Amino acid sequence: FDFCILIGSYLGYLVELFTSFSVGVQTTILRAFRISRMLRLVKRASSLNIIFETFLITIPALANIGGLLLLFLYLYSVIGVSLFSQVKLQASLNTHANFKSFTRSFITLFRVSTGEGWNDIMHDLSRSKSPLFEC
């Protein structure tokens, strides 16, 4: 079993490497079967088996945390659209990252939650005035 998977995946790799012929999705799927070799290794090694079973047990808890994260992103996207939809586009608050629509707001908040450019977006939002601001 292992030998067939290994030979099949390497043959597809060699065909793509030495010819201009693209073997397509089938070879990519064959390469994915290499993971099954690792799963067989996990079954044999008891310490790896314990870690793998623990990982499988934690998946429902991770799904709950992911659902909670999506709920927070949804709520704050709605709040972000209501507060920052009229802010003019600037350097980091551009056509890709803004609060003009719900989808853009959701994507921007997801980007900020990963830590990518959050301080630039924060500075662009703090420097601009809302149209509702009266002094």
pLDDT tens by residue, 53-78 = 899 999 999 999 999 999 999 999 99
pLDDT at 84 over 80: yes
pLDDT tens by residue, 5-23 = 677 667 767 777 777 666 5
- The CA distance from 87 to 131, in Å, is 8
Q: What angle do CA 110, 112, 117 make, to 5 degrees?
A: 140
DSSP symbols for 78-135: HHHHHHHTTPPP-SSSSSSS-SSSHHHHHHHHHHHHTTSSHHHHHHHHHHSPPTT---
- Calculate helix-pair angle for 2-18, 34-44, nearest 10 degrees: 150
Q: What is the model's pLDDT at position 27?
A: 61
Which pTM does this prediction carry? 0.61
CB-based contact 8:30 (threshold 8 Å) = yes
- The CA distance from 22 to 101, in Å, is 40
- Calculate helix-pair angle for 46-84, 34-44, nearest 10 degrees: 120
Domain ranges in the chain are 1-44, 60-130
Tokens of 92: 């980091």
